[in-house]
Amino acid sequence: MEIRPVSVGSVVIGDGEPVLIAGPCSIEDESMFRAVAEAALESGVSILRGGAFKPRTSPYSFQGLGSEGLDLIDAIRMEYGLPVVSEVMSIEQIEHAIDRVDMLQVGARSMHNFPLLSALGRTEIPILLKRGFMATIEEWLMAAEYIVKEGNDRVVLCERGIRTFETWTRNTLDISAVPLARMLGGYPVIVDPSHAAGRRDLIDPLTRASLAAGADGIMIEVHPDPDKALSDGGQSLSLEELKVFSEGLFGTGSS
């Protein structure tokens, strides 16, 4: 099946040139997000990621800055000229987010939130749909159809690992999902090796495997000081590691 490219600002996902999406799991404050944006720009990142609303397993963990984070995203994307993708978890969050980001993300936990998917289908903004960690490829593709059915076909899929019996990684990256989802759905497919592995030392090899399997892009987590991150520090690259990663795999960066 022919892939339907999706434009996110001036960036096209699915045109044969893999894109790099990078940024923090959760935006913690302005200085932190600004530092990541500067490093992303210098490293040739195509799209900046930044979580304003962060679903967590524990209700006591950092949940993101919420609406304040969206306002910060809007200011930073305008200043640095980078399109930004950020997650929404409910229908109520769409209205405030839609004018402040360039792409809305549906997280793995929300893949089966069918009212949210349908509501996003009634918008015209690009959607990044993450695969649920217990979802089959067919269920993932049908979730995308909830969006498309309402009129929005600007959908990009994201494979981020599924839950298996393995304990040495956070999830198990399903490489076969990349060509299968592209062939069966016609959607561009990107891979998030950060969430798949849950550890930064596997990001490079999982990225190489993903690109070899035909992924249309890679999304990784980056933090100025991963060891002090309020969420997902163990799977985040530092700003210097981002530059090395980008140069080695994408041939980009200013240094």
- Rounded to a whole number of angstroms, the distance between the first and last alpha carbons of the chain is 39
Residue 40 forms beta bridges with which residues? none
For each successive 10 residues of the chain (255 residues), what is the average pLDDT? Answer: 95 97 92 95 96 72 74 94 95 94 96 98 98 97 98 98 96 98 97 96 98 98 92 90 93 57
Cα torsion at 191, 68, 99, 80 (round to 10°)? -70
In this prediction, residue 131 carries a pLDDT of 98
In this prediction, residue 44 carries a pLDDT of 95
CATH number for the domain including 98? 3.20.20.70
Residue 220 maps to a domain: yes
- Residue 133 in 3-state DSSP? coil
* Token digits of residue 234: 């163990």
Closest CA to 115 of 142, 97, 91, 135: 91
Residue 1 maps to a domain: no
Whole-number Å distance between alpha carbons of 226 and 190: 23
Residue 86 maps to a domain: yes
In this prediction, residue 62 carries a pLDDT of 62
- 107 Cβ contact list (under 8 Å, min separation 6): 55, 87, 89, 130
Q: Where do runs of H (alpha helix) occur along 60-176?
A: 67-80, 91-97, 114-121, 137-149
Domain that holds residue 225: 6-55+65-250
Dihedrals phi, psi of 133, to nearest 5 degrees = -75, -5
Q: Do residues 207 and 193 make contact, with C-beta atoms less than 8 angstroms apart?
A: yes
Residue 231 maps to a domain: yes
Residue 98 maps to a domain: yes
Residue 255 maps to a domain: no
The total number of structural domains that make up the chain? 1
